[in-house]
Amino acid sequence: MSPLLAVEDLYVAFRAPRGGLTLGYRVVWALRGVSLSVEEGESLGVVGGSGSGKSTLLKAVVGLVKPLRGSIVYRGLDLLKLGWSQRRRVLREVGYVPQEPSQSMDPRMSVREIVLEPLLALGVPKESREHLLGSVLELVDLPNEVRERNIRELSGGMQQRVAIARALITKPRLLLLDEPTSSLDVSTAAQILNLLRDLRDTLGLSYVVVSHDIDSVSYVADRVAVMALGVVVEVGSTHSVLAEPLHPYTRVLVEPERVEEEVTLDPEVACPAYRWCPWRGDRCATERPRPVEVRRGHLVMCWNYS
């Protein structure tokens, strides 16, 4: 059985100034050969630090950035080979919750306008829109009276619920969530994570959840993929990755209290962890290893295991 979503050998690059207008530009690789898959009904967590490429991965799936190479296959269709109108129809089944809802939603709009905007673009009749609005607000535990309020009047937790409601309004099968709890206090973040678990059970959704916090991702994810500077360095079941992390960078994320030196990642060498890894060899600087299955379903990209 084919996965719901399969990303294969994906490359994305951006141009960045070298330091001044007269110095020209350099190429920054956001994704370097990323391959991941999500099964129907599965929740995949993608974790990594700033600049890991995890947010770019979600943006590539929904068409906000254009990959240079690779494929994004959703239900057997390569999204990168579809025309605009066909891709738009397919992506109706994919909901996207961007990072920082307060910055991704027009502060002048009401909750009603924000949540219903995707349906207006699809030409859904007004009567159907109103029915769907009531249903989706109930799903995310927002009271009906909130629909006429301005988004600026809401707390951070309520704004996140509005962003999730907007993503759910087209009845997607797959939900992509970019740092859904990063701007929230601990108590509110826990409420959002519980909501995501409830929605998954109620609606049978599949998730891709990206975060810098491996602990919060582990609460909702069946599997975890670890990214560093645009490269997937480890992937496996949540329990396996947390209990026995294999890649040195994963160990830093899982057990930061055991790190005795500053951890910096180097984009100029094959393995991002090369500069400080205790296992490094000459090959690590020049050649990226293929994934090795150390335990069932637990893969690592490290020459130490090859």
pLDDT at 276: 85
Number of domains in the chain: 1
Instruction: Work out the number of other CB atoms within 10 angstroms of the CB of residue 170.
Output: 18
Helix intervals (H) in the chain: 54-61, 84-90, 101-104, 111-122, 126-139, 156-168, 186-203, 214-220, 238-243, 248-254, 282-286
Q: Say whether pLDDT at 24 is over 80.
A: no
Q: Provide the residue range defining the domain that includes 143.
A: 5-305
Task: Supply the pLDDT for residue 114.
Answer: 93
In degrees, rounded to 5, the angle at the alpha carbon of residue 60 between the alpha carbons of residues 57 and 64 is 125
Q: For residue 232, give the CATH number of its domain.
A: 3.40.50.300
DSSP secondary structure letter of residue 110: B
Q: For 71-111, how does the pLDDT look when each residue is reduced to its tens digit (9 = 90+)?
A: 999 999 999 999 988 998 899 999 999 998 877 888 889 99
Q: What is the mean pLDDT of residues 182-203?
A: 94
pTM (predicted TM-score):
0.92
pLDDT digits (tens, 9 = 90+) for 236-295: 999 999 999 999 999 989 987 665 556 678 888 889 888 888 889 999 999 999 999 999
- For residues 74 and 304, give the distance between their C-alpha atoms in angstroms, rounded to a whole number: 34
Q: Name the one residue in this structure whose structure tokens are 């609460």.
A: 219
